[in-house]
Amino acid sequence: MVSDSASHDDRLLVQIASYNTNLQGSRGVPQDLVDWLSPTLQVSTFLSREPRAPDIVAVGFQELLPLHLGLSGLSKPVINERADHILSQIETHAPNKEKYTLLAKVVNAGVALLVYGRDDTTGSKACDVQTSWTGCGFLGYMGNKGAVGVRFRVPDSEGGVGETYTFVCAHLTAHEEYLSYRIADYRHIVSSLLFSDTVDGPKHSTIYSTSHLFFLGDLNFRVAIPPNSPVASLTSPREISDALKDENTRATLKDFDQLSVERKKNTIFVGLREGEFWKFKCSYKYELGAVDKYSGKRMPSWTDRVLYATHTDSADTPDISNITNILYTSIPSYTTSDHKPIVALLLVPRQKNASTSDSVPVLKLPAHYTPKPDPLANLKRYTGRSLDRTIGIIWWLLTMIGAGSAVVGLFNFIVGLGAWNWWRATHSPILAGNGSTV
C-alpha cells in the first residue's frame, strides 16, 4: 500500500530499471531502449496527462558479461559502452528533450549500476557522490554474486544539507532450495556494502544510513508452492504459463513468494516496501527468443524486484510508504535473456523545512533492527576481489586455449602438458643415451 498525502508536483520522480542480461555482454541491450527505459511515454496514466521526465534514473544489470571476463576485471569497457548508449536513449526519448548527467557508475564482475540525474533538477545539485561494491559468491566473497551501490546528497534549495539517496543493485544466490543462502547474502550486503558518512563524520555506514533507499536486482527469490496449496496441481509448464495470465491466480501465488514471506517475518529487507509485483507476470524463467513462453526447467518466479524506503515512512506501518509507486512492470518484448527486464516509477517526497536541520534525515527502523558495519568488510571484499582475478584469468586462459570452452581448454592444457613432458623425456641427452661427441 502507498500513502498519497503529498501532491505529485512537489515530489521527485525516480525511475528504476533492472535486467539480468544472461551474460550477453555488449549484445545484451537492443538499440532502442524506449520500451524499457522510457515507459513514461506510454504506460503511466498520470504522466500521459502531464509528460514529465524522471529526475533520477537508475539502471542495474546482472550477468553483464560472460563470467570469466567479469571475474578477470574486464567489465569496465562493457559498462562504459552501456552508460553512453543509455544516456543517449534517455535524452532522445525524454518528453521535453531534457538533458541528463551520469552521476555515477559502478561494476563488480557482472553486477553493475548506472545512476543519472536530470540536469535542471538533481543532476546539477548532486554532491558527495560515492560508490561501493561487495561480493558474496560461491568461494571467499567472490563477485559472481553480490551488490554494488551508489550514494549521493542533494542539498535543499535554501542551502541546507538536504537528503541522501542510496541505490543498491544486487544479484543473490539462485535456485529455490537455497533460500537460506539468499538471506545470508542480503545480511552480508547490509554489513559490507559501506559508505562514508561525509556530513556527520568519516565513519562508515550501512545502506540504511540514508534518507531514501532503493534496492533492485535479480534477487532470485522463488515461488515455493506447498503440496497442500490449491494451486499445487499446476505442474506442467503450459498449465503454469496459462495460469499466470490471470491476475487472480498471480495474487494467490504471491503468498508463496519467498521474498514476501521472509520480509513479513523481518528476516530480510527490514524497513523496505514494495509495489504490487503480482500485477505483472513472473519475470523468470523464459525460453530464449520467446516473448511469452516459460521454460519447463524452473518454476516461474518474480526473481527481479525493486524495493524502497524513505525517511518519512513509519516503522510502525511496514506496509505503507510515503513513496508512491505509479508503475511497476516487466517488459516482455526483450527476448535475448531468460529474464525479462523490469521497471518502476516512484514519486519520492521531498523533505519539509529542510534548511532548519544541520543533519541528514535517515530511515526509521524497528527497534529490534540495528544494522551495523562489519569491521572486516574490506578484508572480505578484497579477498573476494583477489580470488576473482586469479580464477577469472585462469578461466579466461583456458577458454582461449579451448576456442571458447574452458572444459576443452582444460583438456587441451592437460594433453599439451603431457606432450611437453614426453618430449622433454625423449629428447633429454641423458635419458636418450647420448654420449660425448668429443
Tell me the pLDDT tens digit for each residue of 293-312: 899 888 899 999 999 999 99
Cα(298)–Cα(177) distance, rounded to whole angstroms?
12
Classify residue 419: in a domain, yes or no.
Answer: no
Residue 404 lies in a domain: no
Q: How would residue 47 be classed by pLDDT, with cut points 50, 70 and 90?
A: low
Given this model, what pLDDT does residue 65 score?
A: 92
- Cβ proximity of 323 and 4 under 8 Å: no
Of the listed ranges 96-105, 195-204, 251-260, the one predicted with least confidence? 195-204
The CB density around residue 184, as the number of other CB atoms within 10 Å, is: 15
Q: Is residue 5 over pLDDT 70?
A: no
Percent of the chain at pLDDT above 70?
Answer: 82
Looking at the domain assignment, is residue 408 inside a domain? no
Higher-pLDDT residue of 429 and 257 is: 257
Q: By C-alpha distance, which of 227, 192, 213, 228 is closest to 269?
A: 213
Q: pLDDT tens-digit profile of 339-373?
A: 999 999 999 998 765 555 678 999 999 999 999 99
Q: Provide the pLDDT for residue 82.
A: 92
Per-residue pLDDT, 354: 54
| CATH number of the domain enclosing 329 | 3.60.10.10
Going by pLDDT thresholds of 50, 70 and 90, the confidence category of residue 42 is very low
Nearest CA-CA partner of 151 in 163, 164, 135: 164
In a domain, residue 382? The reply is no
Report the 10 Å Cβ neighbour count for 305: 25
pLDDT reading at 433 higher than 80: no
CA dihedral 216, 219, 225, 231 (to 10 degrees): 40
Q: Is residue 288 part of a domain?
A: yes
Asked whether the predicted pLDDT for residue 403 surpasses 70, the reply is no
Domain of residue 254: give its range. 8-375
For residues 225-232, average pLDDT:
79
Tell me, yes or no, whether 429 lies in a domain. Answer: no
Distance CA 153, CA 197 (A): 11
- CB-neighbour burial class of residue 230 (10 A; exposed 0-12, middle 13-18, buried 19+): exposed
Confidence of residue 226 (pLDDT cuts 50, 70, 90): confident
Q: What is d(CA 90, CA 417) in angstroms, rounded to the nearest whole number?
A: 52
CB 147 within 8 A of CB 193: yes
How does pLDDT run across 229-284, given as a tens digit for each residue? 777 776 666 777 778 888 988 998 899 999 999 999 999 999 999 999 999 999 99
* DSSP conformation class of 123: I
Is it the case that residue 335 has pLDDT exceeding 50? yes
d(CA 88, CA 93): 9
Grid cell 549521493 is found at: 152
- How large is the C-alpha radius of gyration of the chain? 24
**pTM for this prediction:** 0.89
* Predicted pLDDT of residue 37: 82
C-alpha cell at 237: 509448464
pLDDT category, 59, cuts 50, 70, 90?
A: very high
Does residue 336 sit within a domain? yes
Q: Are 323 and 264 spatial neighbours (Cβ–Cβ below 8 Å)?
A: no
The total number of structural domains in the chain stands at: 1
Question: Residue 108's closest CA among 77, 84, 144?
Answer: 144
pLDDT at 173 over 60: yes
Short-list 98, 91, 63, CA closest to 78:
63
- A 10 A CB-CB count for 7 gives 9
pLDDT of residue 200: 57
pLDDT band, residue 96 (cuts 50/70/90): confident
**Average pLDDT of 387-399?**
87
Q: Does any domain span residue 157? A: yes
pLDDT tens, position by position, 112-168: 999 999 999 999 999 999 999 999 998 889 999 999 999 999 998 777 899 999 999
